């Protein structure tokens, strides 16, 4: 399942993040790439321990915890601390697949990468190119979202970032270990949850159908959650 999650950050929060990112010291993006990814990766990145990365990362994690659409779709168990990259002057990231397991440097914890996420800090008109192109069984999709919006997709997908030929594309990227490992099961739960919420609005949460379907949702989640 691939999902556009709008307005994770509002305009004021985006502005705050952009000011911090402008004053940060960027390094070669290959520092966090695996062996295969490093051969395709050409961008800039904030060091994981940079104060700006920690401050903005905490802001993002707090915003995600309050975003009902993200929580419903991802069912997050663990979230890898957000990282930050910048593409400019023709930089790109060739076709690759994300590592299955990431280790959090600060804690040593391991995160299984069920889902990948990219949160955009620049408006689409501010740069040319830079589309995130994701390939999977559901087809090939080109993504370029408004500032503050996030794209969520299976980490098992092949994906790339097209060259940025004008301006700069600045974003955050991170991974989620879901309570439900299987993408098809998460998709079914998300569809069911969305339908229940719509039914609640139309008939009320105390309607017998809403109550029964809510029970089905939680029984499936209880069966599939790890």
Query: Could you tell me which residues are annotated as the binding site?
Result: 96, 98, 159, 169
The pair phi, psi for residue 120, each rounded to 5°, is -90, 140
Closest CA to 176 of 225, 111, 105: 111
Q: Are strands 139-143 and 168-178 parallel, antiparallel or unpaired?
A: unpaired
- Those residues with Cβ within 8 angstroms of residue 82's Cβ, 6 or more apart along the chain or in another chain: 53, 56, 57, 60, 61, 119, 172, 173, 174
The single residue listed with the structure tokens 């940079």 is: 50
- Residues making up the annotated binding site for 2-oxoglutarate are 169
- Those residues with Cβ within 8 angstroms of residue 206's Cβ, 6 or more apart along the chain or in another chain: none
- Residues making up the annotated binding site for Fe cation are 96, 98, 159
């Amino acid at each position: 399942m691939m999902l556009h999650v709008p307005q994770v950050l509002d305009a004021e929060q985006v502005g705050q993040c952009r000011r911090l990112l402008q004053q940060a010291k960027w390094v070669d993006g290959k520092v966090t790439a695996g062996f295969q990814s490093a051969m395709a990766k050409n961008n800039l990145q904030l060091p994981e321990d940079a104060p700006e990365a920690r401050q903005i990362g905490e802001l993002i994690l707090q915003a995600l915890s309050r975003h009902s659409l993200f929580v419903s779709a991802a069912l997050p168990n663990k979230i890898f601390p957000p990282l930050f990259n910048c593409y400019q002057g023709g930089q790109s990231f060739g076709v690759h697949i994300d590592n299955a397991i990431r280790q959090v440097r600060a804690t040593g914890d391991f995160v299984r990468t069920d889902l990948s996420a990219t949160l955009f800090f620049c408006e689409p008109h501010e740069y040319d190119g830079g589309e995130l192109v994701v390939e999977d069984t559901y087809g090939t999709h080109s993504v370029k979202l408004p500032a503050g919006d996030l794209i969520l997709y299976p980490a098992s997908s092949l994906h790339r970032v097209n060259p940025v030929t004008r301006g700069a594309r600045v974003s955050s990227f991170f991974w989620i270990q879901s309570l439900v490992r299987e993408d098809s099961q998460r998709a079914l739960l998300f569809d069911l949850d969305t339908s229940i919420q719509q039914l609640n609005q139309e008939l009320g949460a105390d309607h017998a159908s809403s109550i029964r379907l809510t029970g089905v949702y939680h029984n499936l989640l209880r069966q599939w959650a790890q």
